[in-house]
Chains A and B, each alone.
Chain A
Amino acid sequence: MAGKRRFNYKTKEGLQGYLFILPWIIGFIVFTAGPLLFSFAASFTNYNVTSQMDFIGLSNYEKLFSGDQLFWTSLYNTLYYVLFSVPLTTAGAILLSALLNRDIPGMRLFRTIYYLPAVLSGVGVYLLWMQLLEPGTGMVNTVLAWFGIQGPNWLFDPEWTKPALIFMKLWSVGGGMLLYLASMQGISKSLYEAAEIDGANAWQQFTRITIPMITPVIFFDIVTSLIGGFQIFQEAYVMSNGEGGPVNSMLFYNLYMWQKAFEAFDMGYAMAMSWILFVIVFALTIVNLKLAPKWVHYEGGGK
């Protein structure tokens, strides 16, 4: 034990702490930070994975902004999707959890039923929805027809492909619901009792107590689903056969990036695209964090 006195207690504890998180640090450096930096560097090259990697300056970025019509199409499609799907799924999840946060018999069953779609995921669900959304024989249009509504051509009509995807996403609000439900059950009953004594009705209780009390979860949900929304890929890849659907209406940002990377093998260009997306998402998240203190209520009040 020669080195017994080399470190004082604090340094030693610190070192041990680092030692404990070493597996994560190594993983982060090797599998996240490394590729991240590599992709940043390679976005200034004509990297194609196998044979070339020459520095070409800002040329990739220049091309993206000045001449690539599909870059703007894909960005528009993605923004459209995020703009509608994030508020809708958030509102949907809150409403649903408010409904499921009641004491009536059989509630567990309902909760399970509504949560179930969130458990199912991936390609199987998309294929299922492609059948449901079939214009002629699909369930969705059949049900609409019962009410005398002539359903749209969903995945074949460029005006309806994105709404169709958003509609599909709403089906699985159960995942968000679970978070809200947990948070709603944590709200102290005394608040509601006090409100009741003061004569507040159910709507007032919902807007003045429930919503403010769950704002931290709403905030979390908005931030994560915003980031998730920008990464939409699988749905469009499966439902349009990797091609982007009618009139490129399902050509989302990540799908276009994938095409550039793995069909045209223009990996440098795709990496430049990924950095632009990173900047957009990063900026939006910063804005979110800056706005948060104005509406997010943390119990205890202290920050």
Chain B
Amino acid sequence: MKRFKWVPVLLILMLVLSGCNGFTKGGSGAEEVEAEGDKVTLDFWTFWGSEIRRPIIEQIIEDFNNSQDEIEVKHTFIPWGDIWTKELAAIAAGDPPDVVINDINATALRGKNQQAENLSKYLEEDDISGDFYEELWNATLYEGDSYGIPFNTDTRVLFYNKDAFEEAGLDPEQPPKTWDELREYADKLDVKNGDKYERIGFYPLFGVGTDVWMMNADNVNFIDENSEVQVNTPAKLQTLEWLKSWHDKYGENNINSWKAQMESQQANPFFSGDLAMLVQQPTFYTQIRDYAPDLNFGVALLPEKEPGNGHTSWGGGFVAEIPYGAENPDASWEFIKYLTGKEAQEYWAVKNFDNVANVEASESAASSDEFDDNGKMVYELAVEAMPQTMLTPVPLAAPDFTTLVNPEFDNVYLGKKTPEQAMKDAQAAVEKLIEQNAN
């Protein structure tokens, strides 16, 4: 038996060595970007894995791959919940992907933290900044340099039920233009049976949050570009009071029961006519098309607080960026330029019914033959809303301030604080956070 005594040791050594193999595999990113012939291979991460979006982005990638013979892009789908934490780990490990789709609102923060590559050297040669909506472009800047190129975006518009308008004696071609009209129309559109509502005219917090109406009223983010806290402003306070009055009008129970129905897509009360007006993203149209094709509806810009205040809407979006330390930034840039160029953008816009960042593509998509009449109507309005759509980029001084602000709004709706008190407390809490972060 003596001669077998090293067998277990050998086995263990094998185990250990095979364990180490795991390291070498993950560590050598160079292998992944291995040249096939002379081609550079790029790894492109997106969270678009749905049966609608995936084929569209993959078609765009294929078109790019066929359009030239130096770069080969490979698509890696990573679920929404994982993609950016994985990316962060990959950047820290020095082996990031080549192009990633990321949240536009935190682009400056990623620039500051060196998570994304500075794109200004490419922009100097090839200035494409003018191709995009200004608000989107500005959101990508940190100290004047861009760290990501806007890809897609969205906005919020008012959908309304034309049949309900006629029933209530309102002109279906005249949607409400101001907050006062909104309230007046909603009162007319409400249908009550005793104490119970059968139709709710409008509730501003279905579909969007308190912040959207505050942007609509004030046109200023909670923390402005000079790191000044703009939470407790007169316009925002009035907004909160206004929203609270809607909450009181319908009451917690009605609101919850409508909200619950809204969460299951097909049973959305807007489709059944139990809700006459609703603020949503333009892509909401695709749900109407699929689940309520006979609905007679119209769309309008978000009503303004008072005449002349502006129909400011709110949106978000995504950028294509090069993670810091990517192997082939020049090739990545070429691909990003294609992604955000007119052709790819228009294809994405038309196939997805999604708003895109490229102005020219956006405008030409609006007249696309692929949309039906309703589709055209919605898309045209969305394009009209885009220049009046605000983004709320993550403030560098306090990236996570919303955890302090939102609970205060909740407190108001729950009747635990007056709007004045809540706004005062929110302002103080955010100021304190900024002060702390400064140290």
A-side residues, CB < 8 A to B, are 16, 19-20, 22-23, 26-27, 48-52, 59, 63, 67-70, 134-138, 153, 156-158, 243-244, 246-248, 251, 256, 259-260, 262-265
What residues of A have a CB within 8 angstroms of the CB of B400 in the complex?
A: 259-260, 263-264
What residues of A have a CB within 8 angstroms of the CB of B9 in the complex?
A: 16, 19
CB <8 Å contact, B404 and A265:
no
CB <8 Å contact, A246 and B436:
no
CB <8 Å contact, A246 and B414:
yes
- 8 Å CB contact of B88 from A50, A137, A156, A158: A50
* Given A22-B12, A26-B19, A136-B257; 12 other pairs, CB 8 A cutoff: A19-B8, A19-B12, A27-B19, A136-B256, A136-B260, A137-B261, A243-B406, A246-B414, A247-B411, A263-B400, A265-B109, A265-B115
**Nearest CB to that of B324 among chain A residues?**
A50
Query: CA–CA, A260 to B400, complex, Å?
Result: 7
For the complex, is B113 an interface residue (Cβ under 8 Å from A)? yes
What residues of B have a CB within 8 angstroms of the CB of A256 in the complex?
A: 403
**Nearest CB to that of A52 among chain B residues?**
B113
What residues of B have a CB within 8 angstroms of the CB of A70 in the complex?
A: 403-404
CB <8 Å contact, B436 and A23:
no
A-B pair count, CB < 8 Å, reads 96
Taking CB atoms and an 8 Å cut-off, the chain B residues in 140-181 that contact chain A are: none
CB <8 Å contact, B113 and A244:
no
What residues of B have a CB within 8 angstroms of the CB of A134 in the complex?
A: 260, 263
- 8 Å CB contact of A137 from B85, B253, B257: B257
Query: CA–CA, A69 to B432, complex, Å?
Result: 10
CB <8 Å contact, A158 and B113:
no
Interface string of B399-439 (1 = CB under 8 A from A): 11011101100110010100000000000010010001001
B-side residues, CB < 8 A to A, are 8-9, 12, 15-16, 19, 84-85, 88, 91-92, 109, 112-115, 252-253, 256-257, 260-261, 263, 324, 399-400, 402-404, 406-407, 410-411, 414, 416, 429, 432, 436, 439
Q: Which A-B residue pairs are the 5 nearest by beta carbons?
A: A136-B257, A51-B114, A264-B399, A264-B400, A247-B407
What residues of B have a CB within 8 angstroms of the CB of A263 in the complex?
A: 399-400
Query: CA–CA, A134 to B8, complex, Å?
Result: 58
A-B contact pairs, 30 of them (CB 8 A): A16-B9, A20-B8, A20-B12, A23-B12, A23-B19, A26-B16, A49-B91, A50-B88, A50-B91, A50-B92, A50-B324, A51-B112, A63-B439, A67-B436, A134-B260, A135-B253, A135-B260, A137-B257, A153-B252, A158-B414, A243-B403, A244-B403, A246-B407, A246-B410, A247-B410, A247-B416, A256-B403, A263-B400, A264-B399, A265-B113
**Nearest CB to that of B2 among chain A residues?**
A1
What residues of B have a CB within 8 angstroms of the CB of A156 in the complex?
A: 256
**Nearest CB to that of A137 among chain B residues?**
B260
CB <8 Å contact, B403 and A248:
yes
What residues of B have a CB within 8 angstroms of the CB of A246 in the complex?
A: 407, 410, 414
Query: CA–CA, A153 to B255, complex, Å?
Result: 11
Q: In whole Å, how far is B96's beta carbon from the nearest beta carbon of chain A? A: 10
What residues of A have a CB within 8 angstroms of the CB of B261 in the complex?
A: 136-137
**Nearest CB to that of A74 among chain B residues?**
B403
- 8 Å CB contact of B113 from A22, A51, A247: A51
